[in-house]
């Protein structure tokens, strides 16, 4: 009776929130724990508004062939927004392509930070673990600050952190699926397995998913499609900002354990006894 | 034949990277652009001296919206 169920994921009552309010990755301090993807917005104007509403200070960009007919400069809009750029290697399927793309990004954007993606399957866009490890090692040797998009496998996350990655970015569920965090146990295990920041990446569908990620102990959340493809991206950006803050606060506060049976929230002491003295209540 | 962003181009061997990217409306001062020739990054500082060879594959990349 009154057993605590075994689902204590992310519920260690004494678990302190790691670090202060600010997030530090590779010596760089970010006041916001929400990272934004720039893909999928209906326009650059909406993207800029959503970035402002989210409070994010770091946003991802991809690298693609110059289109002379393209209108508006993404770089200029992001510079005006005052955010840092985190180039990704989206679309790369081999370590070789990802490494070259990262080097191109370093040249184009004058940053040695890279969100390393090496995709192994077109339908699920799941990471290719062996290629990811190869690319991470080569880029770290080349002086990059590597933030790898990885599966929710604690062992792989540990291997990436041991290589020298500045953070790990495990997926909650496939990119753009909006399925939330399918294996919260593994996300909590990753938090325990590595000493670098854990940034929940991919799968976030709505605000509660971001809150859960933070409650599980993640240091930050990356949201892309969940905001950009929402019916009202600016409102969703605002919601995500609040959700990340709420989850972080709840994690630090230490939630109560789950129990099968009720525990009264009002004490019995001093409870009136209306059956004594022959009083009948109807 | 020199390929510029995957398409046949009128670029000739011996032209500099600056001359090549001018065909895309870019110059040496354009922000957020990187160039690779035959799979190797050409640093911006070398754009006005690096000459593309016969059958070169030139990739000119810039920022695109993405997660």
Q: Residue A281 — very low, low, confident or very high, per pLDDT cuts 50/70/90?
A: low
Q: In which band, very low, low, confident or very high, does the pLDDT at A179 lie, cut at 50, 70 and 90?
A: very high
More confident residue, A76 or A53: A53
pLDDT tens-place string over residues A232-278: 999 999 999 999 999 999 999 999 999 999 988 888 888 888 876 65
To the query of whether residue A158 is one of the catalytic residues in this protein, the response is no
Is the predicted pLDDT of residue A3 greater than 60, yes or no?
no
Q: Answer for the pair A92, A103: CB distance below 8 angstroms, yes or no.
A: no
pLDDT recorded at residue B1: 86
Chain B residues with CB inside 8 Å of A62's CB? 63-67
CA distance A37 to A223: 6
Q: What confidence tier does A1 reach under pLDDT thresholds 50, 70, 90? A: very low
Q: Which residue has the tokens 């102990």?
A: A217
Residue A50 distance to chain B (closest CA, Å): 14
In the set A36, A38, A59, A115, the catalytic residue is A115
Q: Is residue A4 within 8 Å of A257, Cβ to Cβ?
A: yes
**A235: closest CA among A50, A110, A77, A111?**
A50
What sign has the CA pseudo-torsion A45, A51, A54, A59?
positive
B contact test, residue of A37, A50, A108 with most B CBs within 10 A: A108
**Residues A202, A223: Cα–Cα separation, whole Å:** 7
Measured between its terminal Cα atoms, the distance across chain A in Å is: 33
Which CATH number applies to A28-254: 3.40.50.1820, 3.30.365.10, 3.20.20.70, 3.40.50.720? Answer: 3.20.20.70
DSSP conformation letters of A221-250: EEESHHHHTSSSHHHHHHHHHHHHHHHHHH
A145: pLDDT confidence band, cut at 50, 70 and 90? very high
**B34, pLDDT greater than 70:** yes
B3-62: which CATH architecture? Answer: Roll (3.10)
Secondary structure element (H or E) that encloses residue B42, with its range: strand B40-42
Report the alpha-carbon distance of residue B4 to residue A7 in Å, rounded. Answer: 56
The CA–CA distances, whole Å, from A281 to A9, A268, A278 equal: 46, 20, 9
| Nearest CA distance, B6 vs chain A (angstrom) | 9
* pLDDT value of residue A189: 96
A229 or A68: which leads in pLDDT: A229
**The tokens of B54 are what?**
């016969």
State pLDDT tens for residues A8-58.
555 554 444 455 678 999 999 999 999 999 999 999 999 999 999 999 999
State the average pLDDT over residues B20-48: 91
Q: Quick one: how far is CA B18 from the chain centroid? A: 7
Determine whether the interchain pair B67/A90 forms a contact, defined as Cβ–Cβ distance below 8 Å. Answer: yes
Taking the domains of chain A in order of start, what are their residue ranges?
28-254
Mean pLDDT over residues B4-32, rounded? 90
Indicate the pTM of the whole model. 0.87
Best residue of A34, A36, A44, A66 to probe chain B, by most B CBs closer than 10 Å: A66
Confidence of residue A139 (pLDDT cuts 50, 70, 90): very high
Q: Does A2 have pLDDT greater than 60? A: no
B39, B62, B66: residue with CB nearest A108: B62
Amino acid A277: pLDDT: 63
| pLDDT value of residue A20 | 62
As a whole-number percent, the residues of chain B with pLDDT over 70 amount to 100
The contacts of residue A201 (CB under 8 Å, 6+ apart) are A149, A169, A170, A171, A172, A222
Say what the pLDDT of residue B30 is.
84
Segments of chain A assigned E as strands = 23-25, 28-30, 34-37, 58-65, 84-87, 113-116, 145-150, 169-170, 199-201, 220-223
Min distance B14 CA to chain A CA atoms (Å):
22
Would you state the pLDDT for residue B56?
92
């Amino acid at each position: 009776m009154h057993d605590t169920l075994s689902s204590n994921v992310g519920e260690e009552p004494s678990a302190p929130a790691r670090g202060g309010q600010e997030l530090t990755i590779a010596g760089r301090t970010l006041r916001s724990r929400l990272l934004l993807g720039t893909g999928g917005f209906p326009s650059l104007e909406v993207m800029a508004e959503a970035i402002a509403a989210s409070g994010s200070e770091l946003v991802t960009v991809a690298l693609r062939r110059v289109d002379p007919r393209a209108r508006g400069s993404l770089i200029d809009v992001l510079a005006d927004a005052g955010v840092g750029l985190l180039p990704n290697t989206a679309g790369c399927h081999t370590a070789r392509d990802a490494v070259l793309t990262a080097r191109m990004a370093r040249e184009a954007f004058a940053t040695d930070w890279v969100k390393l993606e090496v995709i192994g399957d077109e339908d699920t866009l799941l990471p290719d673990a062996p290629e990811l490890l190869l690319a991470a090692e080569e880029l770290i040797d080349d002086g990059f600050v590597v933030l790898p998009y990885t599966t929710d496998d604690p062992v792989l996350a540990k291997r990436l952190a041991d290589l020298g990655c500045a953070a790990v970015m495990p997926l909650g569920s496939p990119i753009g699926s909006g399925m939330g965090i399918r294996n919260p146990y593994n996300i909590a295990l990753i938090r325990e397995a590595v000493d670098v920041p854990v940034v929940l990446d991919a799968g976030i569908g709505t605000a509660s998913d971001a809150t859960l990620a933070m409650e599980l102990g993640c240091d930050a959340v990356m949201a892309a499609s969940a905001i950009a493809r929402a019916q009202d991206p600016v409102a969703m950006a605002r919601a995500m900002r609040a959700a990340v803050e709420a989850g972080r606060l709840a994690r630090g506060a230490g939630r109560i354990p789950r129990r099968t049976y009720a525990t009264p929230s009002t004490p019995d002491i001093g409870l009136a006894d209306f059956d004594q003295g022959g009083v009948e209540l109807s | 034949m020199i390929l510029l962003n995957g398409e046949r181009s009128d670029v000739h061997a011996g032209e500099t990277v600056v001359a090549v990217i001018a065909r895309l409306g870019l110059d040496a001062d354009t922000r957020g652009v990187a160039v690779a020739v035959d799979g190797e990054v050409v640093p911006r500082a070398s754009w006005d001296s690096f000459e593309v060879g016969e059958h070169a594959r030139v990739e000119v990349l810039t920022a695109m919206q993405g997660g």
